[in-house]
Structure formats: structure tokens, C-alpha cells
Amino acid sequence: MLTVHHLNQSRSQRILWALEELGVPYQIVRYQREKTMLAPESLKKIHPLGKSPVVEDNGLIIAESGAILEYLQETYDPEHRFAPQTGKSKQDYRFWLHYAEGSLMPLLLMKLIMTRLGKPPVPFGVRSVGKLLASGVEKTFLNRQLETHARFIEAELAQHSWFTGNQLSMADIQMSFPVFALLARGGVDDLPNLRAWKKRVEMRPAWQRAIVQGGPVDFPDG
């Protein structure tokens, strides 16, 4: 049986959602974040990077969300329900699979780091400097970038219900984590299409089953 090495409050929630959509049986090995919010060292026994998600299937150990989702689609979706096969939708599918982690998620991770520079575990003596530095980076660079990305995604979702058309694909599953984070802590208002997409995701039975299996994913401001 396929095994998902699942870290709480992490991107591995996407893999559980994909498996629930595909109807593929799986088992979960659960890991809890340390107080530092880092993954436990025990994950390095599964993959040298010590990150989650990682899946084991038929002797393969696969890391990275995009690679895992592509593997699941190619292996367990013979009818191609979750991957467009022709035309612009196919190219859009490829784009969003890479964009999620290559362009959007680094900005959101930077945003999270900036909000924590003025808080523990940053040493008390440098918190005020850290907070001042974070404010400058956010104001001059980060907030503008997130605004640009949010408006781009909002315009794309004005054209159709899902990221590659009118049918859910693995691209939507890949985009779920950064979009939820963007809406929670991106600081961008007036995004009705993004919020409607999020609601469609949350209404899917497979998403709801994945939350039961993996636990809720919260996106605090810092």
C-alpha cells in the first residue's frame, strides 16, 4: 500500500487530497513539527532532506509535491481526469504545477519569516532591529510582489472555475497550499475569484476527507 509521510501543518496535505480524489488506498506515517516549526530529524531517515511530503510506493521514494502529484496522476489516473491532455489547458497545467512552488510559495515563506523577526525565538536584543528590517522589506518589495501575483491569479480565475479550465486538475491541488496562504497572510484585498475558488475546494468531499485524515492546516499571520 502507498505510504504518505505526513507532517502536520504542511504541504503534504495536498497529497492526501490528491489520493482522496483518485480513490487510491494509502496509509499515513505522522510527524509533528518541533517547537522551532521545523520537521523532526526522523524524517531524514525517509529522505535525506528531511522534508514532507514524501511518499513510498512500489519500492519508490518520491519527494517534492509537484513530482509526487505528477507521479500519482500518471500512475493512478489512466482516464486523465486530473490532467488536461491537449491545447492551452495542457500548457496551463504545466505552468501552475511549477509556478506554485517556483514563484509564489517563496514569497509567502519570506512573508512568514518577516513577520517573525520581531518575535521569539529571535533573541530579545535584536528583535527591534529585526522588526524594523522586516517592515522595510515588506513595504519596499514583498507586499508589492504579492499584490502583483494575487492580481495575476485573480485575473486567471476570472476566466474559468479551476486553474486549467472547468474541471479540477492536479494543478489546483498543487496551488491549494500557496493560495490558502496568500488569502490568509498576503495582505491583498478584493479577490472574489480566489475566494470563490477556495470555497469550491473546501466543498469537495475529497478535500473534507483529507482534512479528517491529515488534520486542519492553519495559516497564522506570524
At 132 the pLDDT is 52
The cell for 28 is 499515513
> For residue 78, which phi and psi values (nearest 5 degrees)?
-65, -25
Cβ atoms within 10 A of the Cβ of 164, count? 25
pLDDT in tens, 199-222: 999 999 999 999 999 988 776 544
At 222 the pLDDT is 40
Q: What is the mean pLDDT of residues 46-75?
A: 94
Closest of 111, 118, 172, 112 to residue 147, by C-alpha: 111
pTM of the model: 0.90
Q: Burial letters for 115-147: b for 16+ Cβ neighbours within 10 Å, e otherwise?
A: bbbbeeeeeeeeeeebbeebeebbeeebbebbe
At 8 the pLDDT is 82
pLDDT in tens, 4-49: 999 887 889 999 999 999 999 999 999 888 777 677 788 888 899 8
pLDDT in tens, 89-140: 999 999 999 999 999 999 998 887 666 655 655 555 445 555 555 555 565 6
| Residues ≥6 apart with Cβ < 8 Å to 212 | none
